[in-house]
Structure 1
Amino acid sequence: MSVAEPELSVDFFAGVLGWAVIPEPDGSFTGWVGDRLAAHVVAGEQGWRVFFGGDEPRELAGNSSVDTGRVLHGPWAPAPRAGEPCWVELMTGAPDDAYWAGELGWAIEPGTEDFVLFTSSRHGDPRPVAGRLTTTRGDGWTVYFAVDDLEAACARVSELDGRVLLEPTTVPTGRIASIAGPRGGECVLLERPAGWGGTWAARHLT
């Protein structure tokens, strides 16, 4: 995530999500859940950036890119713990599903008029890897973080001067709330996801 005030922003999300924060030599900050990196917060104005696993590092649309190496979070990683990323959805007013399928080898599973589910068979049987929602609320990837207690997490958001943009509600992914830090960084909280993608993972594997 790139924001104008990285230290203040990482402190907010650490307070909400329970991260252990490590200051890095370059002035950035990393947030950890146990031994797994949850986020890297740097100076800038782009908000959340999503990295997908692949064979060739490259830039993608929507403030995202492909990187090599071990994927820390996703359909084949360990189940998400509280405070860790647990899903991503592309919010866009101009869907280009073929672009993402072509760039990342994803299959497209139609959902509703406004939503499609992307699946990947990169490491075996197809599993949900991301979603796409047609919306007029901006373009880019939205990151979901796992929490154990949605109401308690939303209370912490308010206590730390953040905003709850969408009060707890149930959607196909599970029980969610949308939040924003006092200095940027909108994201979604997902309560107790069973795996990457929450309810999508459970439905796809049954």
Structure 2
Amino acid sequence: MDFFAGVLGWTVIAEPGGSFSGWVGDRLAAQVVAGDRGWHVFFGGDEPRGLTDDSSVDSGRVLHGPWAPPPRHGEPCWVEYLTSTPDESAGYWKRELGWEAAAGGRGLGLYTSSRHGDPRPVAGSMSSCSEGIAGWSVYFAVDDMEAALARVSELDGVVRSGPSRLRIGSIASIEGPHGGSCGLLEQPAGWGGAWSSKPAPS
């Protein structure tokens, strides 16, 4: 928690049961609990329920996403789903959340949602070569990539990749000294960085 708070500028609050929440202003950015399961992602929906691969639906107010306010430094700004069965996964997310899938090229894909009107990019997808591998990766917004990566090193973290310029924007992958990893996206204009300003693929 100290590592992510130090890199992303969170205000940390201790929660009952030994977990910690990280806040950016009045918006919850993440909750950190003991364990090694990785990220658990919550999506907006009508009925709270569990989904596959450490994700759930919550009926509360959506704090981050394509229809939420633009992400500030330290807030989630994109999620990507890694899977070895992209066609099967696309069918699952369509059934569960009404998402549509579009090809992004080179093993990349894009999920869009029309839940509140015109389709908007809601999540990315990446093909895995390893059978049975599936899960979510989370990106957080940073105002200055160079400064954020310098802070990672100061706090004994590791820059796993990047910074690289991709279609979504300038990204990097980091890992903390005690585990836990995430992506960073520099100055995203909205959810999904550059995807937020482009029409959804048909």
**TM-score after normalising by structure 2:** 0.93
Question: 2: CA distance between counterparts of 1:175 and 1:68?
Answer: 32
Counterpart of 1:141 in structure 2 is 136
Counterpart of 2:191 in structure 1 is 196
Question: 1: CA distance between counterparts of 2:165 and 2:94?
Answer: 28
In the alignment, which of 142, 145, 150 is matched to residue 155 of structure 1? 150
Q: Deviations over 1:105-127 (max 9, x none)?
A: 01112221411111111111111
Taking only the aligned residue pairs, the percentage that are identical comes to 66
One-letter code aligned to 2:180: G
In the alignment, which of 100, 104, 116 is matched to residue 97 of structure 2? 104
Instruction: Please report how far the alpha carbon of residue 160 of structure 1 lies from its aligned counterpart in structure 2 after TM superposition.
Output: 0.5
Any idea what SS the aligned residue of 1:153 has?
helix
Structure 2: gaps spanning 5 or more residues: none
1:41-56 to structure 2, matched below 5 A, reads 41-56=32-47
1:1-206 to structure 2, matched below 5 A, reads 10-95=1-86, 96-136=89-129, 138-204=133-199
Question: 2: CA distance between counterparts of 1:25 and 1:57?
Answer: 22
Question: 1: CA distance between counterparts of 2:29 and 2:129?
Answer: 28
Question: 1: CA distance between counterparts of 2:8 and 2:170?
Answer: 16
- Superposition misfits of 4+ residues, deviation over 3 angstroms: none
- 1:19–1:83 contact (8 Å) kept in structure 2: yes
Counterpart of 1:4 in structure 2 is none
Question: 2: CA distance between counterparts of 1:57 and 1:121?
Answer: 19
**TM-score after normalising by structure 1:** 0.91
Using a 3 Å threshold, how does the CA distance of structure 1 residues 136 and 187 change in structure 2: closer, same or farther? farther
Question: 1: CA distance between counterparts of 2:138 and 2:94?
Answer: 19
Any idea what SS the aligned residue of 1:12 has?
helix
Instruction: Please report how far the alpha carbon of residue 172 of structure 1 lies from its aligned counterpart in structure 2 after TM superposition.
Output: 1.1
- 2:50–2:56 contact (8 Å) kept in structure 1: yes
Question: 2: CA distance between counterparts of 1:67 and 1:185?
Answer: 24
Instruction: Please report how far the alpha carbon of residue 139 of structure 1 lies from its aligned counterpart in structure 2 after TM superposition.
Output: 2.5
One-letter code aligned to 1:79: P
Structure 1: gaps spanning 5 or more residues: 1-9
Question: 1: CA distance between counterparts of 2:111 and 2:62?
Answer: 17
Question: 2: CA distance between counterparts of 1:155 and 1:149?
Answer: 10
Q: Deviations over 1:155-203 (max 9, x none)?
A: 1111101110002011111100000111121110000001000011111
- 1:108–1:118 contact (8 Å) kept in structure 2: yes
